[in-house]
Structure 1
């Protein structure tokens, strides 16, 4: 499974958050695209519209399990996708900004 460390992500890298709605609302990376894993297959078209055509998709969840599943699925579709190791827990631990749905400081649920 291709992975990327949180510290290796640059500002502006495309990030797909596959956590559920309550987790997203509590706190997420600003600018990430949110498609819950439970809705992923049905909403796949949203990803193809939003993702950069020639860029990598960095998939994130709380700790890395769900995002690994989605990254593997995307890879099987021929998409350049990697799992973000440690997920949002590592993102927050590394001091990367976490915001809630109102744009205020959030937390990882």
Structure 2
């Protein structure tokens, strides 16, 4: 995987991400289980960065993927990896921190916890 300049990776603001989500784009949350359980965007796919490489085939290949984490660092790395795999991945700038700051909806759903959690 190439570690090219991050400025080459596409990104969108949380406001633009919210607009795109209403148009059917997929949001992928790459935070870890405890962060997801604490609150996430409704309808997001939970796929932690730590498992992304082994589970990348679970993602849809025929749609734009908006990638989000807490503040934008992990999602930027995930975006680079997914684009290298040929997926249309875009970083959500500012992450869930920015999402919350602009009043984005947050849901808490502890039913997503893995049965084999540590």
TM-score by length of 1: 0.85
Q: Which of the residues 55, 58, 66 maps onto 2:66?
A: 58
Q: Which of the residues 36, 55, 60 maps onto 1:43?
A: 55
User: Which one has a larger percent helix, Structure 1 or Structure 2?
Assistant: 2
* Structure 1 vs Structure 2 CA RMSD: 1.5
Q: Could you list the runs of 5+ residues in structure 2 that have no partner in the other structure?
A: 1-8, 112-118
Q: Which of the residues 52, 56, 69 maps onto 2:77?
A: 69
| Count of aligned pairs | 99
Q: Which structure's CA Rg is the greater one?
A: 2
3-state SS in 1 of match to 2:105:
coil
TM-score by length of 2: 0.79
Q: Could you list the runs of 5+ residues in structure 1 that have no partner in the other structure?
A: 104-109
